[in-house]
Structure formats: C-alpha cells, structure tokens
A and B are shown apart, each in its own frame.
Chain A
Amino acid sequence: MTTTSDTTRTAEGNTPYVPEDGLLLEVEDLYVEFHTHDGVATAINGVSFDLHQGESLAILGESGSGKSVTAQAIMGILDMPPAVIPQGHIRYCGQDLLSMPSEQRRKTRGPEVSMIFQDALSSLNPVFPVGWQIAEMFRTHRGVNKSDALEQSISLMERVSIPAARERVKAYPHQFSGGMRQRIMIAMAIALDPAVLIADEPTTALDVTVQAQIMGLLQELQEERQMGLILITHDLGVVADVADRIAVMYAGRLVEKGDVHELYGGPSHPYTRGLLESIPRLDQKGQTLSAIGGLPPNLMHIPAGCPFNPRCRMAQDVCRQDRPELREIAPGRFSACHFAEEVIDA
C-alpha cells in the first residue's frame, strides 16, 4: 500500500481523469441556495478556488459560513431539493462534475474524490464489522472477491495504524474508541486511492492528543499518495501545521485566500485578523480575550455592502454600500476588503 495515486491510475489504465499540470479540482464562481418555506438562503455566494496534486487547502470559517456545504457540493451529496446550484462550475481534471450524469458522477466518489466526516462515531454503519465495511469499497468498486478484499482491508487498517488489525477486522464500530473509528473512516476514504480527499472537521469530535495523531496521519497519507487535501475546519491550530494554503469563508463567501505563513503573519481581512486574535494565549493571562462581537448574518438576509460590516471594527460608509470583490493584493494573496492594504499593515 505504498503506491501513489499516479501509479495506480496508470496501472488501471481506464480512468478518464488525468490532471493537467497537477491541477485536480477547480471550483469556479459556485453558488448554492437552499429553497425553504421561509425563503431562499444563499449558503454559498460565488466561491472560487483550485486544488493541485499534493497540496493541502484549508477552508476556515465559523459554523454556518458555508464550508461544509462547499464540501458537500463538491462531493455531490447535497440533498437537491432543497439545495439548488444556480450557477458555477466544479471541474475535476477538467471535467465539469455538475453537468455529469449522476451515475457517472457517483463512480467518481471513492476512486477519484473522497471524503472523511466529522463524527466517526456515527459515520460507520453500526451493524457491520469494520473490516467488512472497508472491504465493501473494494468489492463494489473494483469487483475484488471477498477474501482478497478482506486481506486488503487488513493491510489498510495496518496502514492507518490500528493495532492488531488482523484480530480487530471482525470487530464492530462500537468496539473501537473515537480515534480508532476515525482511522477506520480514513481507511475507507483512501481505500480506492482518491486523488482528492476532503476532510470535513475530521478532528472536532476527538480529544487533543488524538487530534494531533489524526492530523499527523492525514498529512502522512497525503504526502505518500500525493493527494489533494481539502481540510475543512474552524480550528486555527489544526490548520497551521498541515495546510499549504488557506481560504477563509464568511457568510458563504471567500474573504481571504493565501499562503498559510503569509496569512498567519499578516492577515489582510479584518475577519481573519479577528479570528487570529481570538485564540487564547498564555502571555495574555488575565486580560480580556479579544473576540469578534455579534453573530454571523442570517443567510436569508445578508447585509448590503460587505457582509462582515456590522461586526467590523474598521467599517466605514463605503463598506455598508459597496460589496468588496475578492482581489489580488499581492502575488498569491487575495482579500475581499476595501482596506486590505491597511489591515495587513496594522
């Protein structure tokens, strides 16, 4: 199980998906709306980003900022209705996933694009042994016979560092701890050597030491297989170690995008700055923690102008009228703030 995604791809020789210049995933001007009885909630508002082979992109944001919806839209597991994608493109290796027939798209899930969920406790089917569930990936997608599939599951379980994998392959999900269950979920997600792996808050339900192990494992697997990793999280600490680039989401929009070190060193959007300042630090013991006041906007009534303006310390008249577009303020740095340059220097 040390093959990279590339070798597996050519070895099989039947995949129509070959990345061009390492570009795996391209999300362009994506909109997602939820049509509910109370009105239309715009969960994603023109989000664009791309992902290359071997790259980790972190999507950062509060609850309700649209990061999980972005992931579900890429995977194609949004419930439609109520969700509607009025415009935008999601291209995987140059092919538009949104216009693909649903059966063809389903077959990309698993071998091409795969996903890990937040709560491993509930992401595993309680009535089947874990080995059976991993083996199912091989059996249904590759037609491997039962005993071979089980052998492959055992080596995968060993790969994700589950002790005594051979004995535990027949155990049920409830017989594992949270961290072990998340490892099994990871094993299932990487079973078919996907080129893109989306991890939706993979460590939220785990305690801190286990979080670090799981993030370490993800990073290791990503480097080993040269996967493109999209890490969705609200945990700034998790991001710093793993991600190459960061995209910050607010109210369904990208407000800032850039290299992880530059972004941490000098945020160019007041929201990112607020997020970074709200991390408790030991040397500030006794002082009031600087938090962003207010709540994220109701997605049915996103304020005019900059969506962040009611909570922004620097908001001025222009922020209440003109919606700032995401613009390149330095090579590879994007910000959606009228005063990005001032924020960065502040």
Chain B
Amino acid sequence: MTEQAIVEAPSDHPSDDAGEVGEERSLASDAWAAMRRNPMFWISATMIAIFLLMAIWPSLFTNTSPTEAVLSESRALPGDGTWCGRDIQGYDIYARCIYGARASILVGVLCTTGTVLIGGIIGVMSGYSGGWGDAVLSRIGDVFFAIPLLLGAIIFLVSLPDFFNDNYFLIVLKVVLALVILGWPSLARLMRSSVIQVKPNDYVQAARALGASPGRIVRSHVLPNSLAPIIVVATINLGAYIAAEATLSFLGIGLQPPAISWGIDISSAIVGLRTTPHMLFFPSLFLSLAVLAFIMLGDVVRDALDPKNR
C-alpha cells in the first residue's frame, strides 16, 4: 500500500513551491483519483452511461416503435426481421427492451437514492444519538419492517388517489414511493449498526477532545468510516428494486401498460417459458446487465473510499 506514497513522492518535488502542496486533498478527490485508475470503474461507468442514454433517448438505439403490434408474427423467434424476436403481442422485443430501460432505471435509481437518503439519515441519527432517540427511531423502523412488502405495496398503491395515474412520471413515482417507504428500514438498520461500530473508536473521541463540533464529528469522522456497507448493499438493492417493480407490475398494481418496463416484459413472458424462452431471455439480460453495472460501480466506490485498498 505504501507504493502509492513512494510513487507519488517524486511528483511533488520538495521545493518551496507552496502551490503544489496546497492542492485540495479531500476524501472525494482522493476517491476519484483511485477510481480513475480502476478499469472496473470504466467498464461499469460505460455500461451505466449506455443504459442512461437508452433511458433518455431510446430512439437512438432503435427505429421500431415498442407499441407496434404485429400479431401475425406473435412469438416469432429472433432473426426473422427482428434482432430479438417478438413477444406474444407481436411487439419487437429489442425495441421493448430499449424503451423499458427508462422505467426500470428510474425505479431502480430513485428507489436506491430514496432509501439511502432516508435510511442513511435516520440510521446516523439513531446510531449517533443513542438513548431514547435511538429507541424511538428504531421502533418506527421496526413498524415498517414488519409490513410484508407485497401486502404493504398493494395497500399503498391501491389507496393512492387517481391523480397519480395521470402521467408517466407520476406512475413511476408512486411505485418508487411504495418501495422507498417499505424499503428504508433495512438500510437504516445497517447504517445504525455501522455508526455504532465507528462511534466508540478513539479517533472519534480524539476529535471531541480536539474541539470538533458534533456536526463535524458526524461529517468527517463517523460518516466516511461507516459508509462502505451501505454503498454495497444499496447497489445490490438496486437490482432488487427493479425486480420488485416487476413483481408489482405482474400483480397489476405497479407500472401498467402502456408503460413499458423490463419487469412488465419479464412477467408477460412467463406464459411461453418453455416454448419461446427468448421472450424471457432478452428483458432478463438487460435487467441483469444493468444490475451488474451498478453493483460493479458500488464495489469500485467502496474500494475507493477505503484508503487501505489503494
């Protein structure tokens, strides 16, 4: 691990030039420097960039409309004028996979962001404060934790006003809301235990003894040292949220056609599982690649935040 220090040393000559040493060395800039050297970062970043492009401008990738049904070619195999065949409605599967990226990526990314923010903040608050504040927050988390995902989501989605069915983003948003509300407690628990593990460390005590304010102790000492587990779990969860969205759609309460998502296509492919598996294969492939890309990125970020891995 010391190679880095040795390798870097000659680059900033021990001169009197103050400007060179004065360069900013924050956690973020160091992490960025470490990531740039990691090929995994570039692979995952490229994949994520492609998926994002797909989500924003699907027409860049295909000229076929995902809602153009050619019923006479229902369940056509790949190769007959289409790259990935057609599904039971006669839709072009490739086009649907491309257009499905928007909803799936939106649900995955928004759910992950939402659960990390809510779970992370509540986890830090309860872990750092301890005492009755911790008890109250943890019990609130337990209440949500105890609700089964499907049951909770069904009740939540059914009881939402019709206003949420008005446009595409509101439909996605209501699925995201349901998953975030039911999903944050696991991340809060993880963050809380991680904070409790970091809090008694000597460097936190030392920071107090050297006059750091509570806010600064949390920002520079507790948070950076307790983030790693939540980053890893959050990126793995991203795939789980896309899958959960598929489950909800399958039950008819998540995204609804004409919305297009990988989850919807996966669930509608179940009917032809044995005869026409390509209907299941392609949307699943897109889903798996997207999840893989985010998990890889999560790993890279975690490694970059830990100086001992550099």
Binding site for B on A (CB under 8 A): 75, 77, 106-111, 114-115, 117-119, 122-129, 131-132, 136-137, 140-141, 146-148, 150-151, 154, 164, 166-172, 174-175, 185, 188-189
**Cross-chain contact A106 with B213 (CB below 8 angstroms):** yes
Contacts of A118 in B (CB 8 A): 202
Least CB distance from B23 to A in Å reads 8
**Cross-chain contact A175 with B2 (CB below 8 angstroms):** yes
Distance in angstroms between the alpha carbons of A50 and B50 in the assembled complex: 69
Contacts of A189 in B (CB 8 A): 210
Given contact pairs A117-B202, A127-B307, A75 touches B24 in the complex (Cβ within 8 A):
no
Query: Looking across the interface, which residue of chain B has its beta carbon closest to that of A77?
Result: B208
Q: Known pairs A77-B205, A170-B5; list 17 more (Cβ under 8 Å).
A: A110-B210, A110-B211, A115-B209, A122-B202, A125-B207, A125-B220, A125-B224, A126-B308, A137-B210, A146-B22, A147-B19, A164-B9, A166-B21, A167-B9, A169-B21, A172-B308, A174-B308
Find residues 282-302 in chain B having any chain A CB closer than 8 Å to their own CB: none
Query: Looking across the interface, which residue of chain A has its beta carbon closest to that of B22?
Result: A147
Least CB distance from A143 to B in Å reads 13
Given contact pairs A110-B211, A126-B307, A132 touches B25 in the complex (Cβ within 8 A):
yes
Q: Contact partner of A166 among B1, B14, B27, CB < 8 A?
A: B14
B residues contacting the other copy or chain, number (CB 8 A): 37
**Cross-chain contact A123 with B8 (CB below 8 angstroms):** no
**Cross-chain contact A132 with B209 (CB below 8 angstroms):** no
Q: Contact partner of B209 among A77, A111, A131, A172, CB < 8 A?
A: A77
Find residues 199-244 in chain B having any chain A CB closer than 8 Å to their own CB: 201-203, 205-213, 216, 220-221, 224-225
Least CB distance from A166 to B in Å reads 5
**Cross-chain contact B216 with A140 (CB below 8 angstroms):** yes
Distance in angstroms between the alpha carbons of A83 and B131 in the assembled complex: 14
Contacts of B18 in A (CB 8 A): 147, 151
Query: Looking across the interface, which residue of chain A has its beta carbon closest to that of B2?
Result: A175
**Cross-chain contact B1 with A123 (CB below 8 angstroms):** no
**Cross-chain contact A109 with B1 (CB below 8 angstroms):** no
Distance in angstroms between the alpha carbons of A48 and B213 in the assembled complex: 29
**Cross-chain contact A185 with B206 (CB below 8 angstroms):** yes
Contacts of B1 in A (CB 8 A): 174-175
Least CB distance from A300 to B in Å reads 23
Least CB distance from B34 to A in Å reads 12
Selected A-B contacts with CB under 8 Å, 12 pairs:
A75-B208, A77-B208, A117-B202, A123-B203, A123-B206, A125-B220, A125-B225, A129-B30, A164-B9, A164-B14, A174-B307, A188-B206
Distance in angstroms between the alpha carbons of A108 and B208 in the assembled complex: 11
Is the CB of B162 closer than 8 A to any CB of chain A? no
Centre residue among B21, B24, B210 by max chain A CB count within 10 A: B210
Contacts of A172 in B (CB 8 A): 307-308
Distance in angstroms between the alpha carbons of A336 and B258 in the assembled complex: 88
Centre residue among B30, B205, B206, B224 by max chain A CB count within 10 A: B206
Is the CB of B305 closer than 8 A to any CB of chain A? yes
Distance in angstroms between the alpha carbons of A109 and B206 in the assembled complex: 10
Query: Looking across the interface, which residue of chain A has its beta carbon closest to that of B227?
Result: A127
